[in-house]
Structure 1
Amino acid sequence: MAIEIERKFLVIGEGWREQVEAETRLVQGYLSEDARTTVRVRIRGDTAWLTLKGKTQGISRLEFEYPIPVDEAETLLRELAVSPLIEKTRYRVRHGGHLWELDVFAGANAGLVLAELELETVDEDFERPDWLGAEVSDDPRYFNVNLAQRPYRDWS
């Protein structure tokens, strides 16, 4: 069984940019979301994935991911996904022995920058970089599925 353990933070400043190892453009959309399960389609470069995620419990949840053809992913996003789609560039930054993923959002969520850290255990220690802002792991507004339904640009 695949369990995702992830903490999410706001990003402050631009100091992280000098540590970038890689960057990837992502487009994703949600086909279904209810209290128990989220179904997401994501295109990353020339690959695409169908992901099923269970209900978040603290900072962990079940996650299953399957590769799908890009043309099918494009059709699913165009025909079945909640609008607007999530558009972002993901930057990978290594700090303190951990690999961070920083998402710089575009489109309806432009202006939002989040850092995510996947952990092996819920109580795993990690070094906080100086560009790390407030933790938002428990704030549902920052869940990507919710950003598709109520984008950052619409927040007051």
Structure 2
Amino acid sequence: MDEDRDDFEFERRFFCRQLPEDLDDGDAPTLIVQSYFVHEDNYALRVRLQAEGVRRRMDARTDALNVLLEERDHFAAASMTVKGPAVGGTRYEAERPLDPSIAAELVVRGGSLIVKNRYGVWLNEDWWNVDIFGGGNAPLAVAEVERSGPVTDLVIPPFCITEITDDPRFSNDGLAERPYRTWASAFEQELQENGSHFLENFGSNRSLD
């Protein structure tokens, strides 16, 4: 096993307007509550808890801490992760499993929290995650695809409005520091003026019909 390579993530991320209807097949998404104890200059220390089989509404009133306390018994997986700055779709990421009860105690006691639902689907040759955020980051929707190596020659589905792979504002630690709601209007104005863009240094970008 190449441990050095395993401690890097290779992904591309995209801003979406909303969850595509065909991604919600009626099954409960993965519920995620995570807290950032370090989130500065794109360095981060994250504690994440995940629950399956739980459906919680994500809107501006969704409080991450309340969700954690109310669904605490359902969180069966947890991890602690150290992240470095993202450069060209590559980011140092050392993730290790953590006992969910310990993770919950850490999150309750501090950090900057995020809550979201994660949906997943196979599109072409890639597994796509679409995150729907609650609380201060509602109504943000972000799609991402991750591979074991650089994400090249990607088939991009039509629900991806513009690429945010190298935009630190949209990293989860960036959203923990400055929630989307506080700058959403400025971003929409920026998108209207500049239009959509997709990175061109990852081979050919193809469209999913």
TM-score normalised according to structure 1 size: 0.89
What is the RMSD of the two structures over their aligned residues, measured on CA atoms? 1.8
Q: Give the superposition deviation at 1:99.
A: 0.3
**Distance in 2 between the 1:49 and 1:13 partners?**
27
Of Structure 1 and Structure 2, the greater helix share is in 2
For residues 103-149 of structure 1, the C-alpha deviation after alignment (integer angstroms, 9 at most, x for no partner) is 00011111100001113333521211111110011111101101111
AA in 2 matched with 1:8 = R
In structure 1, stretches of 5+ residues that fail to align are none
Q: Structure 2: give runs of 5+ residues left out of the alignment.
A: 52-75, 186-209
Match of residue 87 from structure 1? 115
Question: Quick check: 2:18–2:141 contact (8 Å CA) kept in 1?
Answer: no
| Conservation of the 8 A alpha-carbon contact between 1:96 and 1:126 | no
Candidates 66, 74, 81, aligned match of 2:104: 74
Deviations 1:23-69 (Å, cap 9, x if unpaired)?
20000010113447311000001111101112222210121111111
Corresponding residue pairs, total? 153
Give the match for residue 22 of structure 2: 18
Q: Specify the code of the residue in structure 1 equivalent to 2:15.
A: L
- For residue 55 of structure 1, give the secondary structure of its aligned residue in structure 2: strand
Residues 12 and 151 of structure 2 are in contact (CA less than 8 Å); yes or no, is this contact kept in structure 1? no
Q: Distance in 1 between matches of 2:103 and 2:18?
A: 34
Structure 1 consecutive aligned stretches of length 4 or more whose deviation exceeds 3 Å: 19-22, 34-37
Q: Which of 11, 20, 31 is the matching residue for 2:37?
A: 31
Moved more, 32-41 or 60-69: 32-41
Give the counterpart letter for 1:25 in structure 2: L
TM-score for both structures, normalised by structure 2: 0.67
Larger Rg belongs to = 2
Which residue is equivalent to 2:12? 7
Does the Cα contact within 8 Å between 2:42 and 2:173 map onto a contact in 1?
no
Aligned to 1:98: 126
More strand by share: 1
Give the Cα separation in 2 of the matches to 1:19 and 1:148: 26
SS at match of 1:153: helix
